[in-house]
Structure 1
């Protein structure tokens, strides 16, 4: 079983388009501007990004935004480059947190990953672990990472109409899809790529529903039961008595 390594090489492809900062102080200001622009996307959508609005949000002179970004398009692209950087960090962090205890579970229950008979107890142990971890991931996404999910919705539309942002969106998707496909392969899925597609679609659906629902009203018991149902169907070679 392989580990969810953060060294996927994906981050190395990220590149900002605006003027490069030559000093640490300048880089700090440039980062402030991009963080401010991302907050505006979360609050108002992409159309809220204007040099004057971003400068006000970042509490920097208007000249600073026009110095680092020659036009609004460049500012928008670099804002979503920052988003992608943050989103990839979340993906890699979850993978690292997920795989370590999964490896410990596999070591303690070797029958889970062998081709022999799987006991009821082992099946329940694995399924309970998966549901708990993935429910926790959804919970984190719709609560502490809620702003990032909102940005993602704006990101998706811009990816349709903007070639550069489409590249960033595909980069993020490939990274997330790759982690899920790896997970499905570890789970002995007979079709890890196809099952990863189904599970990713399920995540997107639950996250979107979470955004449409007041946080206090989100039914995480339903999230857990839905995940349990899908996981039982997606990896029958592992999660059923043989």
Structure 2
């Protein structure tokens, strides 16, 4: 059974377990296989990953999947690693949006509370629209992997590392950008809120996602965590 790779906050540090590609053409084929496996996860769930099914989806010979991945567990783990790479890149983009010197000062001082709230709502909703409309398949894959993590020890380890990477990013936000007395606790609450909003949105048809409701909930949440106005 494949073991989970070590995971850091940098998506470039992710380690794949399948056979390493020595040439650009080989790397392209290995990537095609993993992208095909990820599409199968979205369509059929993790249990839909089979060498023959993935080869057909990727339009490569069956021997190619068994060459790069010695067993199904290794293929599943590397598919989740690919998902994690994509997810962390999106989160990195969101955190960069918040890395604004004026935001740190305004959030700490309090008088510009409304401006801070409006800015944060705008950034969060830009992220949410992207996740729920443009990256909907990745959110579906995330739900499939979250279930698989409960019953598959290799995926469980990677899922815990993935979650810790997200938690570290959120904790840094509450420690350095929006100062909190309990940054880790606030980070846990934020991740829980995001997961709930995303799951509820996935239960709706793609064209019926209630973005206005998500924005209202986000604004209410931020009103509770932002420092009160200066007296």
- Fold agreement, TM-score > 0.5: yes
Q: CA deviation at 1:23?
A: 1.8
Task: Identify which of 132, 135, 146 aligns with 2:136.
Answer: 146
Give the aligned CA root-mean-square deviation in angstroms.
1.9
Instruction: Tell me which structure has the larger Cα radius of gyration.
Output: 1
1:209-224 map, 5 Å? 209-224=200-215
1:234 maps to which of 222, 225, 229 = 225
1:190 and 2:181 aligned: yes
Measure the CA separation in 1 of the matches of 2:34 and 2:191. Answer: 28
Partner in structure 2 of residue 3 of structure 1: none
Q: Distance in 2 between matches of 1:208 and 1:80?
A: 18
Corresponding residue for 1:92?
92
TM-score for the superposition, normalised by structure 1: 0.85
TM-score, length-normalised on structure 2? Answer: 0.88
Displacement of 1:182:
1.8
Alignment of 1:9-158 (within 5 A): 9=10, 11-12=12-13, 14-99=14-99, 102-106=100-104, 110-114=105-109, 118-119=110-111, 122-158=112-148
| Separation in structure 2 between the aligned mates of residue 218 and residue 8 of structure 1, nearest angstrom | 30
Q: Unpaired runs of 5+ in structure 1? A: 1-6
Please report how far the alpha carbon of residue 204 of structure 1 lies from its aligned counterpart in structure 2 after TM superposition.
0.4
CA distance in 2 between partners of 1:233 and 1:34 (Å): 42
Q: Which moved more, 1:137-146 or 1:185-194?
A: 185-194
Unaligned runs of 5+ in 2: 1-7
For the Cα contact (< 8 Å) 2:51–2:66, is it kept in 1?
yes
How far apart, in 1, do the equivalents of 2:38 and 2:86 lie? Answer: 11
Q: 1:157 to 1:54 in 2, by over 3 A?
A: same
Which of 207, 213, 223 is the matching residue for 2:198?
207
Query: What residue in structure 1 maps to residue 4 of structure 2?
Result: none
